[in-house]
Amino acid sequence: MNDRQATGTGIRLTALSHGAGCACKLGAAELAQVLRHLPSVEDPRVLVDAASHDDAAVFRLSADRALIATTDFFTPIVDDARNWGAIAAANALSDVYAMGGTPLFALNLVAWPRTGLSFDLLGEVMAGAAEVTQEAGCLLLGGHSIDDAEPKFGLAVTGEVHPDRMMTNRGARAGDCLVLTKPLGTGVLTTALKRDRLTEAEIAPAVASMRALNAGAARAAQAAGVRAATDVTGFGLLGHLGNILTGSGLAAELWTENLPVLAQARQMAEEGSLPGGTERNIAAAAVLTTCDADVPAADRILLNDAQTSGGLLLAVAPERLDSLLDALHAEGTLARAVIGRLVTGDIGTLRVTREKRP
C-alpha cells in the first residue's frame, strides 16, 4: 500500500472527481450569468446578500445581533477521507470568519454513491468534519444526503456577528494595506497529487494549511478594527481581491516578493500543474490586471491559483497595521504577509510588481 491510498481502503478519492476541492467551482463569468436571475432584495433586515459577492449572507435580528448564513461543498481534494472532511469543514466555516463572525451550528451536505464506495469511508469524512467543527465550537446538528456517482461533501453553516462589526467587501478605503494570513499554492499542489506528481506526504504542509481554521485571523482582525475582508478560495487571490475592489470602488497594487507560498508550489506551477479553476481565474483576471515584465510566470499563476480553505485577505488602515500584525502573531496564524495596498484609480484594476515592501 502506498501513501496515495486512503486510510486502509486502497481507494484514491481524488481519482473519483473531475476537479479537486474549490477548483471544481463554476467560473466567475459563469456564475455571473446565474446570479443575474436572482431577484433583488429590498428588506432592511438583509445587511448582505449575493449582490455584493461577499462570502456569506447576513440577516439582522436586532440592533446588536445578526445571523450569518453560508454553504460550501466540493469534490475530494485529498485521498485521505478524514482529511477531506476536515478541509471541507474548515473551508465552509471560513466564510463566517471572513464576515467577522462566530459560527454557531452547521449541517452536513453529502453526495455519495450507493454502490462502489464504502459508507464506512463516508463515516471517516464526517468524522474529520466533526473534529474541525468541535475545534471551532460549532455544533454539528445533522444534514442531508443524496445518491451521486461523484462524491461531494461540505457544510451549511449559521453564525452570528454584531452588525456594526461586520467585515465586508465594501468596507475598504484607499491607502489600506492588504494582509494575507495563509500561504498560497493549495490548488497547484493538490492537482499535482491528483496527477501522481506528488504524494500525500509531500503535500502535508498544504493539508495542514487547509485544515487550519481562520478563527484566530478573524479575532485578530476584529481586535485591530478591520472592516474589509474576504477569504481566498476558488476564485484565487486576484478574484477575491477583485470583489473588494469592486465593492469599495478602488484599485490595488500587489508585491509578489511578499507573497507567502507553500513549499513546492512554485515548482508545480512552473511545471504546469494547473487546476481547471486556476486556468479560468487567469483568463478572468487578465482583463483588469497589469503585471510588470519581471514578475515570474509562476507568481502570476499563484496569484490566480484556485485555493481551498485559504487564508483571510484583510484590508487594514496603515495606522492599525502593526496592531493587526501583532495580533496575528499572537494568534499563531500561518502567515501575516503585507502583500499590497489599495489605491484610487480605475475601479477593479490591479498592478502587480515584483517589489518587496515593508
Q: Which residues are catalytic?
A: 22
Alpha-carbon gap, residue 262 to 284, rounded angstroms: 24
Task: Please name every residue paired with 177 in a beta bridge, in sequence order, or none if there are none.
Answer: 316, 341
Q: What are the distances in angstroms from CA 265 to CA 87, 138, 284, 340?
A: 18, 32, 21, 21
Secondary structure class of 87 (helix, strand, coil)? helix
Task: Please name every residue paired with 160 in a beta bridge, in sequence order, or none if there are none.
Answer: 67, 102
> For helices 186-194 and 276-285, what crossing angle results, to 10°?
150
Cβ atoms of 152 and 295 within 8 Å: the answer is no
Three-class secondary structure assignment of 234-280: CCHHHHHHHHHHHHHCCEEEEEHHHCCECCCHHHHHHCCCCCHHHHH
Q: How many residues comprise the chain?
A: 358
Q: How many CB atoms lie within 10 A of CB 249?
A: 13
Using alpha carbons only, give the angle 336, 337, 338 rounded to the nearest 5 degrees: 125
Q: How many CB atoms lie within 10 A of CB 144?
A: 10
Q: How far is CA 311 from the centre of its chain?
A: 6
Alpha-carbon gap, residue 276 to 20, rounded angstroms: 9
Strands (E), the chain: 46-48, 57-62, 65-74, 102-112, 139-147, 152-161, 177-180, 228-231, 251-255, 289-291, 312-316, 337-343, 350-353
